[in-house]
């Protein structure tokens, strides 16, 4: 009579650890979900800061359009064709030229468009429009 075959009693050479890894990942996820950060649970009154306007960039040049239609570049009166020439000269002197256009609030936008076109034709890349902070 034959007792047991050799094939049935072979020893296992490798241990399957996949179920152990699955269990470890499940426990890790449960630990992460159930642990809440202690920082969010503290009641703290934070200080209030007042908003402050952004400082103008360094070496800023101001183009001002007044309500009467006069045009000013850095507190010097200019006309529109002269503005483009002066901006081109400033651009040659400073390749990183910043221009801030300040127009009167009562002035129609159609009067500001030619100024922006002159800035574009003078190849001034950094042009900003100045505004006031709205009252709350």
Helix (H) or strand (E) holding 113, with range, is helix 113-121
Model pTM score:
0.54
Q: What is the Cβ-side half-sphere exposure of residue 81, based on CA atoms within 13 angstroms?
A: 0
Is the predicted pLDDT of residue 9 greater than 70, yes or no? Answer: no
Structure confidence at residue 109 as a pLDDT band (50, 70, 90): confident
Higher pLDDT, 23 or 9: 23
Q: Pick the closest to residue 102 from 58, 52, 60 (CA basis).
A: 60
Class of the domain covering 60-129: alpha beta
pLDDT exceeds 90 at position 25:
yes
The predicted pLDDT at position 23 comes to: 92
- What is the arithmetic mean of pLDDT over 57-79? 82
CA–CA separation, 84 and 36 (whole Å): 62
The two structure tokens encoding residue 31: 């630990």
Cα 49–chain centre separation: 20
């Amino acid at each position: 009579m034959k007792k047991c075959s050799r094939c049935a009693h072979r020893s296992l050479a490798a241990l399957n650890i996949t179920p152990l890894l699955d269990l470890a990942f499940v426990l890790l996820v449960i630990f992460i979900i159930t642990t809440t950060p202690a920082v969010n649970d503290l009641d703290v009154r934070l200080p209030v800061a007042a908003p402050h306007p952004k400082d103008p960039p360094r070496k800023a040049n101001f183009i001002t359009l007044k309500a009467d239609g006069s045009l000013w570049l850095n507190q010097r009166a200019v006309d529109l064709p002269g503005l483009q020439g002066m901006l081109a000269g400033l651009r040659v002197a400073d390749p990183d030229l910043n221009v801030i256009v300040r127009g009167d609030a009562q002035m129609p936008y159609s009067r500001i468009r030619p100024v922006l076109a002159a800035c574009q034709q003078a190849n001034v890349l950094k042009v900003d429009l100045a505004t006031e902070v709205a009252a709350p």
